[in-house]
């Protein structure tokens, strides 16, 4: 195990080999986190140490096009979704994890949640991977 990253050597080598472009998607990080039983925030820290950039936020908040936010216009937000978001939000803020949970409960895509929160003026905070 590499003492700087707290992952077994084989996993570090896997990341280096499979992220040769210097980046990995948010989705891939979460999949590896689950597979390797490592908390997502720890994975984010390890990737930072390895200088591997996380791209394509599943909520559309970073690294989607030219490493910028990409929020699409949203029309016709279901009232029950607005209520769920507002019930979970605190001072117009909603954590990344809570955003995912609302998306799951409402059966909407995470990306739609990112767009919807932007439209409602809700700021998504506390990235599960530690990027923001």
16 or 67, which is more confident: 16
* pTM, 2 dp: 0.88
Q: What confidence tier does 130 reach under pLDDT thresholds 50, 70, 90?
A: very high
Q: Using one digit for the tens of pLDDT, what is the confidence trace for 86-126?
A: 999 999 999 999 999 999 999 999 999 999 999 999 999 99
Structure token pair of residue 26: 């948010």
C-beta atoms surrounding 22 within 10 Å? 10
How many helices (H) and strands (E) the chain has is answered by 6, 4
Among left, alpha and beta (phi > 0; psi -120 to 50; other), residue 59 is alpha
Q: Is the pLDDT of residue 38 over 70?
A: yes
Q: What share of the chain is helix, strand, coil (3-state, %, to 5)?
A: 50, 15, 40
Structure token pair of residue 68: 């910028």
- Given this model, what pLDDT does residue 2 score? 45
How many CA atoms, within 13 angstroms, populate the side-chain half-sphere of residue 12?
15
């Amino acid at each position: 195990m590499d003492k700087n990253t707290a992952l077994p050597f084989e996993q570090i080598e896997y990341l280096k080999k499979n992220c040769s472009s210097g980046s990995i998607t948010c989705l891939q990080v979460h999949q590896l986190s689950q597979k390797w039983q490592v908390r997502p925030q720890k994975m984010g820290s390890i990737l930072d140490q390895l200088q591997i950039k996380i791209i394509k936020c599943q909520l559309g908040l970073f690294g989607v096009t030219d490493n910028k936010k990409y929020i699409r216009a949203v029309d016709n937000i279901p009232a029950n979704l607005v209520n769920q978001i507002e019930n979970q939000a605190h001072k117009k803020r909603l954590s990344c994890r809570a955003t995912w949970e609302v998306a799951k409960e409402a059966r909407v895509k995470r990306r739609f949640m990112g767009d919807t929160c932007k439209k409602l003026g809700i700021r998504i905070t506390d990235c599960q991977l530690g990027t923001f």
